[in-house]
Amino acid sequence: MKAILRSLGFEKHSNYVRDYFDNTNMKSSIYMSVVVIVLEIWMIIRLTLTIIRENLQSNLKHFFEKYYSNYGILLFMACVMLFCAVRYLKGKSKRRSVILITKWVFMITCIYFGIKVSLNDYAKGEQFLTFLTMELFALCLLTWRPFTAFIISGSSFLYFYSCIDKMVAINTGEVGATVATKINFFSMWLSTMMICIASYNRIRAQALKDENLHEINTYLSKLSVEDELTGIHNMFYFRNEAEKLLNYITTDKENIVFLFFDIENFKSYNEKYGFHAGNELLIKIAHMIDDAFKNSLVSRFSDDHFVVLTSYDGVQKIIGQLSGEIKKFQNEVHLELKCGAYRPHGEETDVSQACDRARFACNSIKKHYDRTWRLYDKSLEDKFHLKQYIVNNIDTAIANGYIKVYYQPIVLTENANICGLEALARWQDPNYGLLSPASFIEILEEYRQIYKLDMYIIESVCKDYRDSTDNHKPFAPVSLNFSRLDFELCDIVGYLCETVEKYNVPREFIEVEITESALTDQHEFLPNAIKKLNECGYNVWLDDFGSGYSSLNVLKDFHFDVLKIDMKFLTGFNNNEKTRPILENIVNLTKKLKMLSLTEGVETKEQFDFLCSIGCERAQGYLFSKPVPIEILREKIEKGELKMSDKYKN
């Protein structure tokens, strides 16, 4: 029932469908009015020529009343319709009321004209073709809802029929329509109605289909410029628009600035309050940034990273205010806004590079709690180049042997003898000199290249073991630093097993250090990897204990053989009275959890004595030795500066 009512036009149209009908009607109106205009002009010319040829000028009043006036009215209406339809389709006027009135007036004029002319001619011989043509024009070319069409055609057919039913046919002299005419007339009306209904439903179906497509397209195009979570612009939109802008501004480029925002500790906020709360916070921050930089390009690149292109004047003040507002959101998690700024100059049009530099400036002030913003300058430029150099040259560095393993001894507190060595990477570069891990580990992690380095270190350590053993030189179990990403980017455990086998290294000579922060990311594969390492017979150590937020959880969820207490505990050894009891408690805890404790960063005899007194089993630090190449380590042992545990003397 509903479907029938719908197909008869008893339904509410959406704006899109309504506009679709209006559009279709305006297009049909153009065809109709052009045909009508041509026809009427032709009729007017033909009638005038007939009047002149047959010398009928004396009857001009009669012709005017009967023909010229009708032709004129229709011609005028067709011109008005044409004018309105063209304006509508060109988008110059979209006023519905105007086009509705014009359409109705035009339709009524057409039908009126059809009836009038047919009635004039009917007397001459049952002529109603003009009526029919006009009816078809007005009802079938234009699309009406079926019930509207029913009213229009019903009343016009009835009116026309009642008129001809009273008339006398000239050729036969009979009054009224014949039975055949009545039947023909009725079937004509029925066909007109059928065509109306069919045309309405065809166009309606098309309109609905188009509406769907339109909705999908709108959704997709919104997605392509809008960030789904926050509703502000996304990276693609930003890049496109920023590029246009950079190309457009030829002078005064120094006046614009790229800003890269990062919310420090956002990860911890997510961990503490959950993703939902994290997302809500991101939405708030996104709108705060958007509001703060009116008339600028504001976008979210990813996670908690926002990029803005704006004018340089007053930018520092806005960043200061934003930073203050963001601090208000923190309760237990310390949140801080960090902003890196880059001012393009000269011919620069590379948006990606500008964003990269702003991001680089932003990263350079991470963990500097007193700084909110940093402008990309010469010193950062040098670091930026180094970063590019590192990413581009890691393969060459490995192939050419620029990467070296340095060993730092780990000693037993009971006798200060070496019981282990930590393998630490160094990059001896022909251009940059000796690079410490601080300058390349993070970059390699960022570019997901770190596994190359760690695989190389595994192989180098195994080779050093083989060489020491074959040549009866001292060597101790080596602890390797694995990055969290190693487990993600390659089968590091598989590779370790293969290499150890290849160089015939006993498994107890290899230990794996996993830094605490790696375990707070809640990755599924890490627990599995730790399990696999244990199963293969390797000891796993927890590195940098106490440097992150979830130290104790990590101890609850995973098993480690050794706990490496982060060196930051020793930095306050002399002036912070809490350091000692904290260290003592950690050491006690490790004993209870059946782990060994190792304190890193031991630099003074006093620190070492304290560690001995609280029962910490192992220590590592400059007091014994800095990380050194294997040859130096051997020399130190030979000279007696360092003593190897009896177990590992070879």
Task: Name the binder of 425 from ligand C2E, Ca ion, none, CB < 5-8 A by kind.
Answer: ligand C2E
Site map (CB under 5 A) of Ca ion, residues 500-539, x = contact:
-------------x--------------------------
- 306 with 299: CB under 8 angstroms? yes
What tokens does 204 get?
Answer: 């309606």
d(CA 452, CA 434): 19
Least Å distance, CB 590 to Ca ion, is: 15
Least Å distance, CB 564 to ligand C2E, is: 7
| Interface size with Ca ion, residues (CB under 5 A) | 4
What are 309's strand-pairing partners?
A: 258, 297
Token pair 């190389």 in the structure block, residue? 456
Site map (CB under 6 A) of ligand C2E, residues 524-553, x = contact:
-------------------xx---------
Least Å distance, CB 567 to ligand C2E, is: 6
| Angle formed by the axes of helices 69-89 and 15-53, nearest 10° | 150
Near ligand C2E by CB under 6 A: residue from 476, 540, 627, 634:
627
Least Å distance, CB 216 to ligand C2E, is: 47
Task: Name the binder of 601 from ligand C2E, Ca ion, none, CB < 5-8 A by kind.
Answer: ligand C2E
- What are the distances in angstroms from CA 640 to CA 418, 612, 636? 12, 22, 6
Look at residue 619 and give its three-state secondary structure. strand
d(CA 340, CA 345): 16
What tokens does 554 get?
Answer: 């990590």
Q: In angstroms, how far is CA 460 from the centroid of its own chain?
A: 42
Near ligand C2E by CB under 6 A: residue from 424, 554, 583, 611:
424
Least Å distance, CB 559 to ligand C2E, is: 20
Quickly count: other Cβ atoms within 10 Å of residue 572's Cβ: 13
- Phi and psi at residue 49, to the nearest 5°: -60, -40
Near Ca ion by CB under 5 A: residue from 542, 543, 590, 597:
543
| Interface size with ligand C2E, residues (CB under 6 A) | 26
d(CA 509, CA 496): 12
Interface with ligand C2E, residue 441, by CB under 6 A? yes
Least Å distance, CB 424 to ligand C2E, is: 4
**Beta strand spans in 443-567 (E):** 478-482, 510-515, 539-545, 562-565
Task: Name the binder of 333 from Ca ion, ligand C2E, none, CB < 5-8 A by kind.
Answer: none
Least Å distance, CB 274 to Ca ion, is: 30
Identify residues 187-206 at the interface with Ca ion (CB under 5 A): none
**Beta strand spans in 317-464 (E):** 336-342, 373-375, 403-412, 418-429, 433-435
Measured from the CB atom, is 344 or 627 closer to Ca ion?
A: 627
Identify residues 547-606 at the interface with ligand C2E (CB under 6 A): 567, 600-603
- What are the distances in angstroms from CA 253 to CA 248, 256, 591? 10, 6, 63
Given the rule CB under 6 A, which residues bind ligand C2E? 408, 424-425, 436-438, 441, 450, 453-454, 457, 481-483, 515, 543-544, 567, 600-603, 620-622, 627
